[in-house]
Amino acid sequence: DGGITQSPKYLFRKEGQNVTLSCEQNLNHDAMYWYRQDPGQGLRLIYYSQIVNDFQKGDIAEGYSVSREKKESFPLTVTSAQKNPTAFYLCASIYRGGAFFGQGTRLTVV
């Protein structure tokens, strides 16, 4: 089945630790996006990539980093510089007709 796969579903991070969230798609879409969602809130754009080996900062990129070495993969690293990382993270691949979303990763700082 075609779609977006995010892993892990739940992730716990210790203070000062970097963690990487995985996002893989087999839809052959060029564009991939990372959003952050806080409880009861909308989606805020972290980073997006329109093509392999290229990506742009979204509205809240500070404390995050990404890479796009393959069309299928767009991992997000939450660095220790992100002071309030506890949130629900959603990855999406975008095409002309809309967006396909993964099921999300819930990150909690312990």
Partner 1 sequence: SQQGEEDPQALSIQEGENATMNCSYKTSINNLQWYRQNSGRGLVHLILIRSNEREKHSGRLRVTLDTSKKSSSLLITASRAADTASYFCATDSPSGTYKYIFGTGTRLKVLA
* Backbone torsion region of residue 61, taken as left when φ is above 0, otherwise alpha when ψ lies between -120 and 50, otherwise beta: alpha
φ, ψ of residue 88 in degrees (nearest 5): -105, 125
Residues in 5-44 that interact with partner 1 by CB under 8 A: 6, 31, 33, 35, 40-43
Considering only residues 59-78, where is the footprint of partner 1 by CB under 8 A? 59
Q: Is 37 exposed, middle or buried (0-12, 13-18, 19+ CB in 10 A)?
A: middle
Residue that the structure tokens 């690293």 belong to: 77
Q: From the list 4, 19, 87, 107, which residue makes contact with partner 1 (rule: CB under 8 A)?
A: 4
How many residues bind partner 1, per CB under 8 A? 28
DSSP-derived secondary structure letter, 69: S
- Residue 103 CB, nearest approach to partner 1 (Å): 5
Which residues here bind partner 1, judged by CB under 8 A? Answer: 4, 6, 31, 33, 35, 40-43, 45, 48, 50, 59, 88, 90, 92, 94-104, 106
